[in-house]
A and B are shown apart, each in its own frame.
Chain A
Amino acid sequence: MKADTLFFYPKELIDKETQSLALSIRQWADKEVIANRLKFLENYRQLVENSRKKLAMDIGLQQMIWPEDYGGGGFNSYKRSISIVRVLEEVGRADPGIGFMFAANFSSYAPMVMEPHIDKDLCAQFAPMFCGKELKTGGSLILPGAGDIDNKDETLFLGRTIQVAATLEDDEWVINGKGLRPLNSGASAELFCIVCASAYGGKGGKKAKGIPSIIYVPGDSKGIKRGKAFKKTGLHADKNADVSFNNVRVPKAYMVKRDGAVKGVYLWLNLCMSATCIGSLMNVYEIIKDWVDVRVIKGKGLIKENPLDAAVLAEIAEDITLSRMLTYNLANIMTKPEVYGSLEQDRVFALAEMIGMRVASSALHAINRTMELMGSAGYATEWNLEKHWRDVKTIQSYLCGIGANVPVSMDIARLFFDCKEI
């Protein structure tokens, strides 16, 4: 049986358009990526670049999330959450690094494109960047993270430090922040979606104190300095680099000041990353299935018939099944604000964080256990497992942001137990 049918998901909730889109992505994955992995073993980046182009342009993922009125694919609604998961899952199966890029892109556009908060001015401004005929890197997210011991007057977003200040001067936001670590694509993004501390008054360069907000900054704005792309564990489809903003000016309208907008970014990020991780797990299942169907141990029986190894396989299957159910469940909850409340409120935000953390950690657990059963083959590039392991681990650390799972645990404890001082 195919992984797809073996691991439950709410099929009845997937509309026809999404089914056919998922099928196209499946075909793209099999033909363009999975079938070519061995051929491009030593030049994987090339494979990623060739195949991402087809996915972004021919299949249309680059514009998928933008409103139809602005040339997009019209998936810009909370009502399409399940479809978005289905799509990213198929991409993650082929390559979690490509999945990650789209997941981060989607989350970075969400504050301006997602119903019911479509910001028409911003869409009109930025949709042409991504809904044309040219392949783009997409939007880069700069989220709050680690603070600096020497900096006493930082603005926080739920304990995490916001490192970018935006000050209003003459109807323009003046943006400052040094050595920032984006989540994705710092080296080449055409647009930055930044969680900043916005404040009225103050002069450029002077650190503003203010409220957590979202500001969009075009990548070619004057005053942006990008570092060299750094080497990282996984997600090699994406080139990331530190970025500094030195008195970068953008129009006043580029700020999204809505209450809950920052939480909204985390919400979409957790959903999209979970979808990417379960996609990765689908391929991990295919790899381990091929292995245990033929590998013999103890000089005679198949490895899968050994009770100890079968118990490990069961753990892997459980991790995949439950992660998939959790992710689709979150998506389903997001499609029904009339039942579960608005997406940007604390309950849904905390749920998304919980599920994001749990899915990333279950995915990593499943891949670790898979590697155990595959011995050295699991560790060799040739078997394609180790790449999933590196990619998913990178996603997990990124979702933590800083301090492992502690910030998320604090968000959850605050919600359920009214903690005031954590």
Chain B
Amino acid sequence: MTIDEFSRPEEYISPLDKHLGSVIRQWAEEDVMPYRRRFDEDWKEHKIIEPAFKKLMADLGLQMCLFPEEVGGWGLGHSNYTATISYRMFEEIGRADTAMAVAFGVTFWPLTTITVEPHVNIRLCKEFAPMFNTDKPCFSALAMTEPQGGADIENIDLLKGRTIQTTAVLDGDEWVINGHKLWPTNTGGVADLLGVACTTRSGSDDPNDFALIFVPSTTKGVTQGGPYEKAGMAADKNSDIWFEDVRVPGWYRAAGPGDDARCFEEIISWGQMGSSAFLTGAMMNLYEILYKFCSEKTYNKKPLKENDAIAALLGRIAGDLDICRVIGYQIARMIDRPDIYGGRGSRQVISKIRNFKEFIADRAVEDFGKAMDILGFYGADRAWDIEKHWRDIKIIQLWMGGKQLCQMEAARYFFDCKSL
């Protein structure tokens, strides 16, 4: 049994799946897995982490994959399989290191609003593609969370952007942005391009006042802090960003009044899809490690996997992966085919996808914890690679508004709740 045999709906796998999957797997096995045990100590500098990013993003050219061909990209944004192939890529990277997967995935996150059909904004693509079309890794960040809370900003259905404190005011043909964001992936000096969630009228819950504006990180008035130290996710840097009278052209707004809010809702679906892929990728690696450990180590003179009670735990873990992978690819399919499932930002799709991701995250958190206990004295040992995944994936359960918001979105949709 290999990791590739875990179930997924084979009939709608991307035509690029085999090729791209194997390229990234080879990269992960050569450039990440042999070094990942040292990543935690590299959280601030990224000296060991950076060369692997360079190879993946610049040398293999993946940082251009979403951009249309006419601006030098691979044109994946035009495909019917954008999410499905992204899922596979994220899964392969997540198998090696979920923090690298998030840093990579978030680079595309704000870009989905200008590179993926039906939102292709060719003017902005032309503007930003050269940044990414280089031999250096180039990252984006999506700045939503603010000091007073991230969950409320993501609770767009209920609060409709009312709590956003970062303001964007049109002055002539320029946006002037002021505010303070926390935590975006790829900050701490990493990101070259920022997608910033703002309000054009403080306290407004009119969708027309929600703005998603692109800001190159070198723009005057943008300050990124130093990276925060965290329980895990060393390959992802997060920090404060301050915007002080930051000026960008008016056309740097992703889609325009009303459409930005819709794009933002779609972003939630994309984010949950990515999160699910990072998790099933890590779970695939968990399976590989457990297989080895439980075949070689014994309890009561039998390999661990041959003890009925331990086998029950192992069966659950493998079974969870088998189920979660099917669900994860279903999320990708729902994003790829709005014609079948409804709009990516529709209530129906967001609620279901949040719910799917919460389920996968809960299973993953429990399974990694259980696996550490199966390894016992070795469970907390960095050398077995499980504990790092355990530390890394916990935040996947908590980010993007957290577990409770997922629960409320599900209840709201399935039971027509009005006030949650």
Contacts and interface: CB of A to CB of B under 8 A. Distances in A.
Q: Is the pairing of A and B real?
A: yes
Interface of A: 41-42, 143, 145-149, 152, 154, 156, 159-161, 181, 183, 230-235, 295-299, 308-309, 312, 364, 368, 371-373, 375-376, 378-382, 386, 389-390, 393-394, 396-398, 400-407, 409-410, 422
Contacts of A372: 397-398, 402-404
A404 B390 CA distance: 15
B83 interface: no
Per CB-CB distance, the 5 closest pairs between chain A and chain B, nearest first, are: A147-B298, A397-B379, A386-B231, A231-B382, A404-B373
Given A41-B229, A382-B229, 7 more contacts: A42-B229, A147-B299, A149-B296, A160-B299, A181-B377, A375-B151, A390-B391
Interface of B: 37, 40, 145, 148-152, 155, 158-159, 162-163, 182-183, 228-232, 238, 295-301, 303-304, 307, 309-310, 313, 365, 369-370, 372-383, 387, 390-391, 394-395, 397-399, 402-404, 407-408
Contacts of A145: 376-377
Contacts of A376: 145, 150, 182-183, 238, 395, 398-399
B380 to A, nearest CB: 4
Contact of A379 (B230, B295, B310): B230
B203 to A, nearest CB: 9
A197 B287 CA distance: 34
A381 B230 contact: yes
Contacts of B159: 298-299
A403 B399 contact: no
B206 to A, nearest CB: 15
A380 B226 CA distance: 13
A172 B202 CA distance: 81
17 contacts: A146-B377, A149-B298, A156-B301, A231-B381, A231-B383, A233-B387, A234-B380, A297-B151, A298-B152, A312-B404, A368-B365, A375-B151, A375-B399, A379-B398, A390-B231, A397-B380, A400-B379
B181 to A, nearest CB: 12
Given A232-B382, A376-B183, A147 B297 contact: yes
A182 to B, nearest CB: 8
Nearest to A41: B229
B297 A402 contact: yes
A405 B313 CA distance: 10
A386 to B, nearest CB: 4
B297 A149 contact: yes
B380 A393 contact: yes
B256 to A, nearest CB: 25
Given A298-B159, A368-B365, A375-B402, A398 B376 contact: yes
Looking at B309, B377, B390, B407, which has the most chain A CB atoms within 10 Å of its CB?
A: B377
Contacts of B399: 375-376
Given A308-B404, A405-B373, A296 B148 contact: yes
A298 B158 contact: yes
Contacts of A371: 394, 398
B37 A231 contact: yes
B309 A394 contact: no
A235 B379 CA distance: 13
A403 B149 contact: no
A228 to B, nearest CB: 11
B104 to A, nearest CB: 20
A373 to B, nearest CB: 8
A148 B297 contact: yes
A269 to B, nearest CB: 13
Contacts of A373: 404
B351 to A, nearest CB: 16
A147 B313 CA distance: 19
Contacts of B299: 146-147, 159-161, 402-403, 406-407
Given A183-B377, A296-B149, A382 B228 contact: yes
Contact of B394 (A154, A230, A379, A401): A379
Contacts of A234: 380
Nearest to B43: A381
Nearest to A181: B377
A288 B382 CA distance: 29
B309 A410 contact: yes
Contacts of A406: 299, 307, 309-310, 313
Contacts of A400: 373-374, 376, 379
A371 B380 CA distance: 20
A375 B304 contact: no
Contacts of A398: 376-377, 380
A298 B404 contact: no
Contacts of A375: 149-151, 398-399, 402
A242 to B, nearest CB: 10
B369 A364 contact: yes
Nearest to B203: A299
Contacts of A235: 380
B252 to A, nearest CB: 27
Nearest to A385: B231
A405 B232 CA distance: 26
B127 to A, nearest CB: 31
Given A230-B383, A397-B372, A386 B230 contact: yes
Contact of B298 (A42, A148, A233): A148
A397 B404 contact: no
A386 B394 CA distance: 10
A154 B310 CA distance: 20
Contacts of B369: 364, 393
Contacts of B183: 376
B377 A403 contact: no
A384 B31 CA distance: 33
Contacts of B307: 403, 406
A142 B54 CA distance: 44
Contacts of B377: 143, 145-146, 181, 183, 397-398, 401-402
Contacts of A389: 231, 394
Given A375-B151, A379-B398, A401-B376, A308 B408 contact: yes
Nearest to B232: A379
B290 to A, nearest CB: 11
A299 B390 contact: no
A295 B377 CA distance: 38
A370 to B, nearest CB: 11
A161 B298 contact: yes
A299 B380 contact: no
